[in-house]
């Protein structure tokens, strides 16, 4: 159907974004059969580390005392300080409200215990079904860390994720703290040596390959500090060059780098204590240029790096640009970054991932982001309609499917997942 009026255009764009099933390419969620690793429900929503950081700005409680409280007492405290004593307008607070509303909860009562009871009716499986349906998500990519004892045990016992959940092999301990984790590799039967050499390369590569077989990951991933450099004289650089990149190429599994995080700026806040800084894009440019047959997925944490990343995306097709990560996952910044990407890279990106740590957050992360993506798409389509270009609604549906689903699977060469 050809689009003739701007009202028609607005309705088609809104509907296409609303209806499109999403592949969420980076989350911290787990398949429902991964026991307690999957976090869900009101207390988890309220104790999200974004809100821990925010509550400490109002609370008189020392952080050490806060950590000694039970999870529900922490949630009560956050509710009281951030929702009752002040209006919950921050993005993380608003997210809780959108999520509860989306779950069918009437917020007027402000009665946390009543909200808890509503959630208590669900087990992990029924809640996953309900939330994925409400959020319009059909595939979820997890973050899977073979150095995490609990998670490791689950994989080693042969547990396989629900088919809607896909693994991503996360390698932060290997790449960011190799010296501290070398002994673990040894204990698990990988004969890495103290001095870097052929044997260590072989053994780390074997470790990667074993976990690839076990997890069947869609990509390997790492988060990196702002001063990340490559190549350089460091364990991290050697492991990337001699182990990750050859395995990534050989197995056709892209290497995802999330760059710009400064961990533990305020360690007392634990996971709420991380921050960010600007990074140089030179290491990424070097990799893209030097390894044209390797595939890289990249997002940066600082706003300042976004423009350079778009420009680099124009130079290298082995670079997949994705998401508004963490401190960028905030409406004002999503809007700016998404508009810039569409203008510089067209529709060849995955504009967003949820980074959800709590299952229910899928509802708000996607509702909020989809509103912005819709708005920017509408603006861009209007611009081209004004030139006399004619659009058909199937073209808009195709574009939206690319953005929220197909571009990711296409980059992975998983043609069976691409929706036609």
Which is nearer to ligand REL, 19 or 271 (by Cβ)?
271
Which is nearer to Zn ion, 44 or 355 (by Cβ)?
355
Indicate the residue whose CB is closest to Zn ion.
355
Best CA proximity match to 185, nearest among 210, 167, 211, 203: 203
- Give the CA diameter of the chain: 69
**Rounded to the nearest whole angstrom, what is the least distance from the CB of residue 258 to ligand REL in the complex?**
6
- Location of structure tokens 């701007």: 6
Q: How far apart are CA 309 and CA 81, in angstroms?
A: 38
Residues that bind ligand REL (CB under 6 A): 28, 143, 223, 258, 271, 326, 355, 357
**Rounded to the nearest whole angstrom, what is the least distance from the CB of residue 4 to ligand REL in the complex?**
42
Pairing of strands 261-262, 275-276: antiparallel
Which is nearer to ligand REL, 264 or 384 (by Cβ)?
264
**Rounded to the nearest whole angstrom, what is the least distance from the CB of residue 110 to ligand REL in the complex?**
26
Which is nearer to ligand REL, 13 or 175 (by Cβ)?
175
**Rounded to the nearest whole angstrom, what is the least distance from the CB of residue 358 to Zn ion in the complex?**
13
Per-residue binder mask for Zn ion (CB under 5 A), 99-128, x = binder: ------------------------------
Buried b / exposed e over 308-339, threshold 16 CB at 10 Å, is bbbebbeeeebbbbbbbbbbbbbeebbbbbbe
Among Zn ion, ligand REL, none, partner that 266 touches (CB below 5 to 8 angstroms by kind): none
Helix (H, G, I), strand (E, B) or coil at 258: strand
Among Zn ion, ligand REL, none, partner that 166 touches (CB below 5 to 8 angstroms by kind): none
Which is nearer to Zn ion, 145 or 402 (by Cβ)?
145
Q: How far apart are CA 223 and CA 172, in angstroms?
A: 6
Among ligand REL, Zn ion, none, partner that 357 touches (CB below 5 to 8 angstroms by kind): ligand REL
Beta-carbon contacts of 325 under 8 Å, excluding residues fewer than 6 positions away, are: 258, 299, 300, 301, 353, 355
Determine the interface stretch with Zn ion among 44-52, 273-281, 349-357, 382-390 (rule: CB under 5 A). Answer: 349-357
Helix (H, G, I), strand (E, B) or coil at 92: helix
Give yes or no for residue 24 binding Zn ion (CB under 5 A).
no
**Rounded to the nearest whole angstrom, what is the least distance from the CB of residue 143 to Zn ion in the complex?**
6
Among 24, 145, 172, 355, binds Zn ion (CB under 5 A): 355
Q: For 305-316, give the secondary structure using H, E and C.
A: HHHHHHHHHHHC
Helix (H, G, I), strand (E, B) or coil at 222: strand
**Rounded to the nearest whole angstrom, what is the least distance from the CB of residue 353 to Zn ion in the complex?**
8
Which is nearer to Zn ion, 77 or 166 (by Cβ)?
166
**Rounded to the nearest whole angstrom, what is the least distance from the CB of residue 87 to ligand REL in the complex?**
23
Beta strand residue intervals within 225-324, DSSP E: 255-259, 261-262, 275-276, 296-300, 319-321
Give the binding site for Zn ion (CB under 5 A).
355
């Amino acid at each position: 159907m050809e689009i003739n009026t701007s009202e028609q255009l607005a309705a088609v764009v809104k509907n296409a974004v609303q209806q499109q099933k999403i592949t969420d390419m980076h989350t911290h969620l787990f398949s429902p059969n991964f026991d307690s690793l999957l976090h869900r429900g009101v207390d988890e929503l309220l104790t999200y580390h974004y809100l821990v950081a925010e509550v400490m700005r109002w609370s008189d409680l020392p952080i050490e005392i806060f950590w000694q409280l039970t999870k529900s007492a922490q949630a009560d405290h956050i509710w009281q300080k951030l929702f009752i004593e002040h209006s919950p307008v921050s993005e993380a607070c608003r997210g809780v409200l959108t999520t509860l509303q989306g779950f069918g909860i009437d917020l007027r009562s402000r009665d946390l215990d009543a909200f808890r009871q509503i959630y208590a009716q669900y087990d992990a499986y029924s809640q996953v079904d309900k939330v994925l349906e409400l959020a319009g998500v059909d595939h979820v990519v997890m973050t899977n860390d073979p150095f995490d004892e609990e998670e490791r045990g689950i994989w080693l016992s042969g547990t396989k994720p629900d088919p809607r959940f896909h693994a991503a092999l996360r390698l932060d301990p290997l790449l960011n703290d190799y010296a501290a984790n070398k002994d673990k590799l040894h204990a698990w039967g990988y004969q890495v040596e103290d001095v870097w050499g052929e044997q260590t390369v072989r053994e780390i590569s074997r470790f990667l390959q074993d976990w690839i077989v076990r997890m069947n990951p869609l990509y390997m991933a790492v988060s990196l500090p702002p001063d990340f450099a490559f190549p350089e004289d460091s364990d991290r650089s050697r492991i990337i060059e001699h182990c990750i990149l050859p395995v990534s190429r050989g197995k056709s599994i892209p290497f995802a780098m999330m760059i710009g995080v400064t961990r533990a700026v305020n360690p007392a806040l634990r996971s709420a204590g991380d921050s960010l800084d600007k990074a140089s894009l030179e290491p990424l440019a070097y990799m893209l240029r030097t390894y044209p047959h390797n595939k890289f997925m990249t997002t940066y944490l600082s706003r300042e790096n976004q423009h350079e990343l778009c420009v680099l995306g124009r130079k290298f097709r082995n670079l997949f640009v994705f998401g508004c990560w963490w401190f960028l996952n905030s409406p004002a910044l999503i809007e700016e970054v998404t508009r810039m990407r569409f203008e510089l890279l067209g529709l060849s990106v995955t504009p967003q991932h949820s980074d959800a740590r709590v299952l229910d957050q899928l509802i708000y992360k996607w509702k909020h982001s989809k509103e912005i993506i819709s708005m920017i798409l509408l603006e861009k389509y209007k611009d081209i309609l004004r030139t006399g270009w004619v659009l058909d609604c199937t073209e808009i549906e195709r574009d939206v499917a690319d953005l929220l689903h197909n571009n990711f699977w296409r980059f992975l060469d998983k043609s069976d997942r691409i929706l036609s």
